[in-house]
Amino acid sequence: MTAKRDVVITEVCLRDGSHAIAHQFTVEQVVNVAKALDEANVPYIEVSHGDGLAGSSLQYGLSRTNEMELIEAAVSVCKQAKIAVLLLPGIGTMQELKQAANLGVKMARIATHVTEADISAQHIALAKDLGLETVGFLMMSHMAPPEKLVEQAKLMESYGADTVYVVDSAGALLPQEVKERIRALRQSLKINVGFHGHNNLSLAMANTLVAIEEGATRIDGSVRCLGAGAGNTQTEVLVAVLDRLGIQTGIDIYKMMDLAEEIVAPILQVPQEITKDSLVLGYAGVYSSFLLHAQRASKKFGLDSRDILVELGKRKVVGGQEDMIVDVAAEIAGKKAKVSVG
C-alpha cells in the first residue's frame, strides 16, 4: 500500500546533479543511488543529462555514459519509484522522449524558458499520448512577473500538463517572490503546482517551505544538495523538516540520511557549498548550470569568473545560450587588454 503523501517529492540528483560532476555519472553510480532512493520510498527519481534528454554535446557538456543506459539502469532497480526525465524542446526531440518511454520512464518534465511555454505544446501532447505523467517546467522564473508566469502556466495546462513548476534556475528568487508566484498559479490553475529551488543565495529551503505554505504539492529536492550552482533544496533535510511540520512525504528519513552520507557524498567532486561563484549566480540571476562553463572561461582568458557571470546577468542570458559564456569572456578580456595598452 502506498503511503499517503501531502507533498510529492521528485529527487533530481541524477539529473541536476549531473551539472555538478560535469556529466560524468557511471551506470554503477546511478544504480546505487536509484536503488537506495527506491528503498527509501522516494516516489520519483529524475535521470538524464543535466540539460535534459540529448543534452550531451560540446556546448552543454559531454556525458561519460549514454543517458539511455543510465535511464534503463535506474528503471531496472526501482520497485516502487517512477523514473522521470527532463526534456528541453530544441535540445531533446520527440525521438528521445519515445525512446525513454520505451525504457520504462513514467514521467516527462518538459522545460522551457519562463516566457516560451508555447514551444512545449507538441512535446507535452506526445508525453500524454505515451501515457506519461507530464510536467511543465518554467525555468528562470525570476525573469517574469507573476502575471506573465500565470499566462505561460495556463498555456502548459491547456496543452495537457498535469503539473506546472515555478523553477528558480538561478537561485535568485526571494521568499516573497516565491510566495507571489506560487499563490498566483494556485489561484489560476486547476492542476498541481510545483517548485524547484537552487541554493545560490542560501534560500532553497526557505523558498521551498514558502512554496508549500502557498499550496505547492510537487517539490524537487537533491540529496546532499547535488545539483547545479550551489545545488538544490537538500532532500534529506527537507524530509526531516516536513516531518517536524507534520507534512507527510512517505519517505524514510533514516534511509535518506544514510544514502546521502554513504552513497552520494563520495560522488561529489567537491562539497556542495555556496562559493563566491555560486553566490554570484543567485545575485546576478544567472542560470545555475553556467557555473562550470564560466570557471573554465575565466581560466582560459585570465579573468575573474564573477565578472563573466555578472555581465551574463546584465545581458539576461538564459539556459541554452552557453556559447555566449566564451563570447562574453573574450569580449571582457579584449576590453581589458585595450585599457592596459592605452
Tens of pLDDT, residues 14-46: 999 999 998 999 999 999 999 999 999 999 999
Neighbours of 216 (CB within 10 A): 26
Q: Is the pLDDT of residue 1 over 70?
A: no
pLDDT of the residue at 214: 98
Domains and CATH numbers, the chain: 8-266 (3.20.20.70), 289-341 (1.10.8.60)
How much of the chain, in percent, has pLDDT values that exceed 70?
A: 96
Per-residue pLDDT, 292: 81
Residue 60 has pLDDT above 80, yes or no: no
Report the predicted TM-score, pTM, of the whole model to 2 decimal places: 0.92
Average pLDDT over residues 199-213: 98
Q: Is 16 annotated among the ligand-binding residues? A: yes
Residues with Cβ within 8 Å of residue 245, at least 6 apart in sequence = none
287 is in an annotated binding site: yes
**Which residues are marked as active site?**
19
- pLDDT band at residue 318 under the 50/70/90 scheme: confident
* The predicted structure's pLDDT at residue 209: 98
The whole-angstrom separation of Cα 175 and Cα 201 is 11
Per-residue pLDDT averaged across 213-221, rounded? 98
The residue written with cell numbers 512535446 in the block is: 123
Rounded CA gap, 116 and 303, in Å? 33
Question: Is 49 annotated as contributing to ligand binding?
Answer: no
Alpha carbon distance 19, 169 (integer Å): 12
What is the spatial distance between Cα 3 and Cα 80, in angstroms, rounded to a whole number?
11
**pLDDT-based confidence at 322, cuts 50/70/90?**
confident
User: Are the CB atoms for 13 and 227 separated by under 8 Å?
Assistant: yes
* Predicted confidence (pLDDT) per residue in 154-182, tens digit: 999 999 999 999 999 999 999 999 999 99
Q: What is the mean pLDDT of the chain?
A: 93
Closest by Cα among 315, 313, 329, 317 to 281: 313
**Which residue, chain included where needed, has cell 516527462?**
108
Mean pLDDT of 251-264: 97
The Cβ of residue 284 has, within 10 Å, a number of other Cβ atoms equal to 19
Is 15 among the annotated ligand-binding positions? yes
User: CA separation (Å) from 99 to 47, 172, 260, 305?
Assistant: 14, 34, 30, 38
CB 75 within 8 A of CB 102: no
- Summarize pLDDT for 296-307 with one digit per residue, the tens: 999 999 999 999
pLDDT at 109 over 60: yes
Q: Alpha-carbon distance 227 to 46, whole Å?
A: 12
233 phi/psi in degrees, rounded to 5: -55, 125
Lowest mean pLDDT among 37-41, 56-60, 100-104: 56-60
The three-point CA angle 144-149-150 to 5° equals 150
Distance CA 1, CA 30 (A): 26
Give which of 259, 238, 261 is closest to 249, Cα–Cα.
Answer: 238
Between 28-42, 58-72, 123-137, 184-198, the lowest mean confidence (pLDDT) is in 58-72
The region of weakest confidence among 3-7, 111-115, 323-327 is: 3-7
More confident residue, 271 or 223: 223
Q: What is the DSSP letter of 203?
A: -
How many residues are recorded in the chain?
Answer: 342
- Residues 51-74: what's their mean pLDDT? 85
Does the annotation list 113 as a binding residue?
A: no
Strands (E), the chain: 8-11, 44-46, 82-87, 107-113, 133-139, 163-167, 192-196, 218-221
**Distance between CA 2 and CA 213 in Å, rounded?**
24
The conformation of residue 323, written as its DSSP 8-state character, comes to H
